[in-house]
Structure 1
Amino acid sequence: MAGTTSSSDQPIAGRTRTETESLIGFFVNTLALRLDLGENPSFEAVLQQAKGVTLEAHAHQDIPFEHLVEVLQPPRNLGHAPLFQVLFVLQNAPLPDLELPGLELTLLELEAVTAKFDVTLEFRETAAGFTGRLEYDTDLFERATMERLVGHLRTLLQGIVAAPDTPIHELPLLTEAERRQFLAWNDTAVEYPRDKTIIDLFEEQVEKTPDAVAVVFPSTGSGQGEDEEVGYGELNARANRLAHRLRALGVGPEVLVGLFVERSVEMVVGLLAILKAGGAYVPLDPEYPTERLAFMVEDAEMPVLLTQTKLEERLPRTKARVVCLDLDTEMKILSRSSPENIVSGVRPENLAYVIYTSGSTGKPKGVMIPHQGLYNHTRWMQDNFPLGNKDKVLQKTPISFDASVWEFYAPLVAGGQLVMAQPDWQKDIGSLIETIIQHQVTILQVMPSLLQAIISSSKIGAVESLERIFCGGEKLPFALVKQGLELSSIELINLYGPTETCIDATFWQCSPEHSVVPIGCPISNTKNYVLDVHLQPVPIGIPGELHIGGAGLARGYLNRPELTAEKFIPNPFSDDPNARLYKTGDLARYLPDGNIEFLGRMDNQVKLRGFRIELGEIEAALVQHPDVQEAVVVIREDEPGDRRLVACIVSDLIPT
C-alpha cells in the first residue's frame, strides 16, 4: 500500500467544488492505494493497474481518509499511521512566477523537522526532469540504510526504462557496487589438494607421531580402573585390521556401513576403519528409539553393521552382516588381519558418511556427505584455528549429530589428543567439567545452552586449561558471549551450518564490542547468498532465505530424489552447470560489514508494524546494561490492537 497526495491544482487537492476554489485552507485528502503484485506482472502491467486504481480512487476522493479508517477498522497503533506507512507524493504542477514591485523573490525549500510517516518519497516535475526528496523517521532507519535505498530506487528506475516489460521481481535492485561487494564477500577460494581425503591426513600424522597418545577414554570416575590410552600407531593398526576385514566383507566406495556402538575407543576405530575401507559410515545412536533405528537400518540398506555385544540385542531386524567388535571370535579374526594401510581407491566425490536428521514428514532423512566436504572443513579448521600436539579435544557430542565429526578428526590430523567422555556424561555437567579439569582439555565444542550450564556451574572456577570454545546448533545470545569471554584467555567462536553443508558453513569470532552476534562469513570454498523468493539477492539489512553452496554441500538425501531436487537447486550465480545451492529455510540478512546475521526460521518470524523484528537484537541491547543479567523480549497484546514489545529481565537488583 502507498499513500498519495497531489498539488493544489489537482482534483485530489480536495477543491472539487467551485465554492472552495478561493478559500484559504488545507483541503488535501490522502488516498490509500492497493496494488496486486501477485503472479509477478511486468512493470507495464503494474503501471496500467496503478493508473486504474488511482482513477478509481479519484472518483471517491471526497471520502475523508479518517472516515475510511473508521469503516475498515484496521489494527491501530500509536506508533504509525493506519493502512500505510509509506507516502508517495508527485508534485507535477508548475510553480507560479510570483513578482512583487521592488522585491527580489527566491524560492526556499522548507526542511521538515518531524517525519509524518515512516518513509515519504516526494518527486517534483521540473523543466529539467524530476527531482526527488526522501524523508524518513530517524528512530526507525539509519542514514546509511536510506542512502542504499536511494541507490536501489535509481537502479530499479534504470531497469524499468531499459526493459519495461520485465516481470517486476526480475528487475535489478542492487547497485553495481553492491554486486561487486557481494562477490568479494563470497571470494573464499582456497586451493586444497583435490585427490586427498581425511584418511590421508590421519595417516600422514601417524607417520609423524606414531608413539604419541591419540585417544584417551577416561575411567568411570569411581576410582576403579585406569584411563584407556591408545597411541597413533596402535590406533592406525587397529583401524587397518578392521578395514581389511571390512574389505573382505565387500565394503568399498559408496558402500554404507552401520555403526551402532557406545562412545568408546571401538567407536573411533570403527569410524577410521570404515573410511579406510572406502565405505561411508551411518551412525546409529544407541539412545534412539527402536522405531527410528529400524527405519534408518531399512532405509540405508547397509550390507554391514558394526556393533558391540551388549548392544546386539537392541538391534532391529536387518539383513546386514553384523560384526560385534568385542566378540572373542571377531577379535581373533581381526588379530590375524593386516595392520598395514589399505589402498581403497576412494575418491573425494565418494561418500564419507550419511547422517539422519529429522524430516518434516516425521520420517528421518539421510544426508549424504562426500569426502571432499569433510576434507575441506578439516583443512579450513586447521588453517584458521590450528591445533597442535599439546591440544586436547573433548569428544562429547553424540555420533548421530554432525558436530561430532570434527570432534573426532580435528585432533587426529594435527597430532593432538581425542579425549572421549563416558557415554552418559554429556548429560552430566559435573562429570564433563571434571573431565575437562583432569585431562586438561583445551578445545571444547558445545551448544549455547550447554555452555550456559557449564559457566553457571560452581566448578567453573577450577577450569584453567580451556583455550577455545566453539558454539553451534543454537542461536548464541550476546549475554552468554559476555559471560564466556569473561573466562580468562578463552576464544569464543560462533559456528553455523546445517547438516547438509558438512558441519559448518560460516564462523564468527566473538568479541564484547558487538551486541549482535552474527553467524559470520563463509568458511573456505563456501558461498552464501541471502535471496528472496524469486532467488534474487536482497540488499544489505533486508531479510531473506540463506542459501549455501560450495565444497561442503551434501550430495542430497538418501533415497529421496524429489526432496533433493526441492532443497538442492541449480546455482544461478555460477558458471558451473553442476553447481548447486542448498535452501536452508533459515531467515538471515547481510550486515554492512559482510557478516551474516541469523534471524530464525522462515516460518517463525515476529512481525510488528509491518516489520520483521529480531527480538534477540533487542535482548542483546538490554543485557549490555550492567544491572541486567538476562533478558527475553516478547510481543504482547493486552488490549485488542495494542501490540507491544515487552521485555522481561533477570537482575540482582531488588525492587523497593
Structure 2
Amino acid sequence: MQTNILEYLENTAARTPEKIAFSDGNDSITFGELLNRVKRIGSALLHRGAGGGKPVAVLMEKHPTVPAAFWGVVCAGAFYVPLDPAMPPYRMESILETVGAECLIADEKGEKIAAELNWQGKQYRYKELAEETEDEAALAAVRRAQLDTDPIYVVFTSGSTGTPKGVVACHRSVIDYTEALSEALGFDETCVFANQTPLFFDAPLKELMPVIKFGATAYFVPKTLFLFPMKLCDFLNEHRINTVCWVVSALTMISSFGVLEKNPPKYLRTVAFGSEVFPPKQYELWRKALPQATFFNLYGPTEATGMSCYWRADRELEEGEPIPIGHPFRNTGVLLLDGNGHPVGAGETGEIYLRGTCVTLGYYNDPERTAAAFVQNPTQSHYPEIVYRTGDLASYNRHGELVFHTRADAQIKHQGHRIELGEIEAAAGKAEGVRQCCCVYDDEHKRIVLYYTGDAESAALTRTLRAYLPRYMLPAVCRALAALPLTPNGKIDRKGLKRAASEEK
C-alpha cells in the first residue's frame, strides 16, 4: 500500500533516472537529479531542525527546480507553504504569520524579497540546501514515522473576509487524487504536459503528480507567452506538447485570436479545462481545430485536493446546452442537497457537497471557517463523517451528468428578483462578436454590469440580450475591454471587475 507521495518519485527515478522530469525549454531536471536534490534538501532541513511536521515556506520563481524544494520539505517530514514572488508583501506576511513559519527556502530573487518582509524567520538558500550531503539514516527514520494522513502542503485561497484561507492537504488525499485523475484522463509515461498555472496553488498537481507517477515530462510555459498566442503555440509544437490541463481563459486566448486556424497545437491529444465556464463558441472552435484530441471538463475545489468531477466530451452538445461537469472521480462522492440538507429531486438544483478521501484536512489555524465549510454529512448522523460544502449550485441533466450552474454567492437580488449572473454571461456568449465576457453586480449603484472582449458593439449586444433575457436581467452597462483582467492563476478577475464597476460613474 502506498502511503507517501515520494514513493512515486523513488520508483520512477529507479526506472528512468536520465529522463527529463521538468523543463522550461531552457533549464531542465531529470528524475535522477530530482530525487537526489529532494533527499539532500530533506537532509539539510532535518539538520537545521526544520522537519517533523513543521511548516516550511518556499519563495522561488517558477522554475524546474521548484518541485525539488517542495518535495525536499516533504522528505524531511515537514509540509511546504508555497509563496509567489509576485504576491504583495502584506499577503506573504499574512500567510507566514498564519502558519507560524520559522524558516523559508528561497532562490536569489526570493532572498531579496524575504529580506524586506516584516518577518523574523530564517532564510535558507535553495542552492546550498541542494548541495548538502544526504543523511540516509535520518531520512529513513522520518519515513518510518510518517502517516498518509500527515500534511504535505498548505496552499492559500482567497477569503471572503479578505484574510486568505490555508487549505491543508495530506499524502492520502493527493495520492488518491493522482490515481483517480490519471485513470479518468488516461495519463501515462508518454504524456508531455504544458503547465500553465503558477506553482503556489493546488492546480499544478495535475501535472506535477502524474509526471512523477508515470515518468512523464512537464514543461513550464513562460508566463509572457500567454500574451502572445502565436508564440505560445510555437512553444507547444516545438516541445511536442500532447497534454494540457488549463484554465478556460488560457484556451480562449488562443481561439479568440484565430490562432487555431493559422498555427494549431498539432500534437495535442488531451485537452482538459476547468475552473471557469467554457464559452460554447470557443469550445467548438477547439473541437473543430483538434478533431483527434479528447476533451475533458474538470470541476473541483482546492478544499477537495483539486478536481473532483470530470466529463469526457464523447457526445455532441445540444443547442444552448452547458458543458457538463459529468461524474465524480473514483472514490469521490457527490451529494446534491437543498438548503435544509436534504437530497434534491431529479432535475432540481442543489448545493454540491463532496465526500471521500479527496476532502482535505481543513483550513490551517482557522477553526471557525473550517467548521463552517467542513461539516458533518447532513444525510446521516450515526457516525462522524466530514464532507466539504462547496457553495456551488448544480443539477443533473437527462443523461445523469452533473451540470454546474453558479456559485451560491453569485446569485444577486435585483429589482426584487433573484438572478444568476452566469445566465447573463451565457446569453452574452451567444452574441456575434463576443469572445469572452464577465458579469458583475455593482452593489453601490445597484446595477448589473457586463464586461466583454470582441468586436461587438454595445448596442448590438444589448439587442441580443433582449432576445434571451427578461428586462430585469438586462445589464445597465455593457463595457468592451481589450482584455479581461486575470488573477495570478489565470482565471477572470471578477473581484477586480466588481471594484471597477463600483468606481465608474
Q: TM-score, normalised by structure 1?
A: 0.61
Check whether the contact 1:377–1:502 (CA below 8 A) recurs between aligned residues: yes
Alpha-carbon distance, 1:273 to partner = 1.1
- CA separation in 2, counterparts of 1:448 and 1:487? 16
Q: Which residue of 2 aligns with 1:517?
A: 323
Q: Which amino acid aligns with 2:131?
A: L
Q: Which runs of 5 or more structure 2 residues have no equivalent in the other structure?
A: 440-447, 449-461, 481-505
Alpha-carbon distance, 1:539 to partner = 1.0
User: 1:493 is matched with which residue: 296, 317, 324?
Assistant: 296
RMSD between aligned residues:
3.2
User: 2:13 is matched with which residue: 203, 206, 227?
Assistant: 206
1:484 aligns with 2:286: yes
- CA separation in 2, counterparts of 1:395 and 1:385? 16
* SS of equivalent residue, structure 1 residue 486: helix
Alpha-carbon distance, 1:339 to partner = 7.8
Q: Which amino acid aligns with 2:78?
A: G
Q: Which amino acid aligns with 2:105?
A: L
* SS of equivalent residue, structure 1 residue 441: coil
Check whether the contact 1:525–1:551 (CA below 8 A) recurs between aligned residues: yes
Q: Which residue of 1 aligns with 2:246?
A: 446
User: Could you say which structure has the larger radius of gyration?
Assistant: 1
- CA separation of 1:341/1:496 partners in 2, compared to 1, >3 Å: closer, same or farther? farther
Superimposed CA distance per residue, residues 485-520 of structure 1 (whole angstroms, 9 cap, x where no aligned partner): 112212221111111111111111134334221222
Check whether the contact 2:226–2:250 (CA below 8 A) recurs between aligned residues: no
User: 1:242 is matched with which residue: 37, 41, 46?
Assistant: 41
* SS of equivalent residue, structure 2 residue 409: coil
Q: Which residue of 2 aligns with 1:157?
A: none
Q: Which runs of 5 or more structure 1 residues have no equivalent in the other structure?
A: 1-192, 219-226, 651-656
Q: Which residue of 1 aligns with 2:444?
A: none
What does 1:378-397 correspond to in 2, within 5 Å?
Answer: 378-397=178-197
Alpha-carbon distance, 1:282 to partner = 0.6
1:401 aligns with 2:201: yes
Q: Which amino acid aligns with 2:191?
A: D
- CA separation in 2, counterparts of 1:468 and 1:280? 32
What does 1:429-444 correspond to in 2, within 5 Å?
Answer: 429-444=229-244
- CA separation in 1, counterparts of 2:427 and 2:96? 48
Alpha-carbon distance, 1:643 to partner = 2.7
Alpha-carbon distance, 1:335 to partner = 4.2
Alpha-carbon distance, 1:576 to partner = 7.0
- CA separation of 1:471/1:573 partners in 2, compared to 1, >3 Å: closer, same or farther? same
1:334 aligns with 2:131: yes
Alpha-carbon distance, 1:283 to partner = 0.8
Check whether the contact 1:369–1:555 (CA below 8 A) recurs between aligned residues: yes
Q: Does 1 or 2 have the higher relative contact order (CA < 8 Å, sep 6+)? A: 2
Alpha-carbon distance, 1:621 to partner = 8.6
Check whether the contact 1:393–1:418 (CA below 8 A) recurs between aligned residues: yes
Q: Which residue of 2 aligns with 1:548?
A: 354
Alpha-carbon distance, 1:620 to partner = 6.2
Check whether the contact 2:395–2:403 (CA below 8 A) recurs between aligned residues: yes
Q: Which residue of 1 aligns with 2:273?
A: 471
1:196 aligns with 2:3: yes
* SS of equivalent residue, structure 1 residue 419: strand
- CA separation in 2, counterparts of 1:452 and 1:614? 23
Q: Which amino acid aligns with 1:493?
A: F
Superimposed CA distance per residue, residues 445-465 of structure 1 (whole angstroms, 9 cap, x where no aligned partner): 221121100223454324211
What does 1:618-637 correspond to in 2, within 5 Å?
Answer: none
Check whether the contact 1:240–1:340 (CA below 8 A) recurs between aligned residues: no
1:321 aligns with 2:122: yes
Alpha-carbon distance, 1:555 to partner = 1.0
- CA separation in 1, counterparts of 2:164 and 2:325? 26
- CA separation in 1, counterparts of 2:159 and 2:436? 32
- CA separation in 1, counterparts of 2:46 and 2:95? 23
1:456 aligns with 2:256: yes
Alpha-carbon distance, 1:600 to partner = 1.0
Q: Which residue of 1 aligns with 2:69?
A: 270
- CA separation of 1:305/1:535 partners in 2, compared to 1, >3 Å: closer, same or farther? same
- CA separation in 1, counterparts of 2:214 and 2:289? 26
Check whether the contact 1:623–1:630 (CA below 8 A) recurs between aligned residues: yes
Check whether the contact 2:61–2:109 (CA below 8 A) recurs between aligned residues: no
- CA separation of 1:240/1:204 partners in 2, compared to 1, >3 Å: closer, same or farther? same
Q: Which residue of 2 aligns with 1:355?
A: 155
Q: Which residue of 2 aligns with 1:304?
A: 103
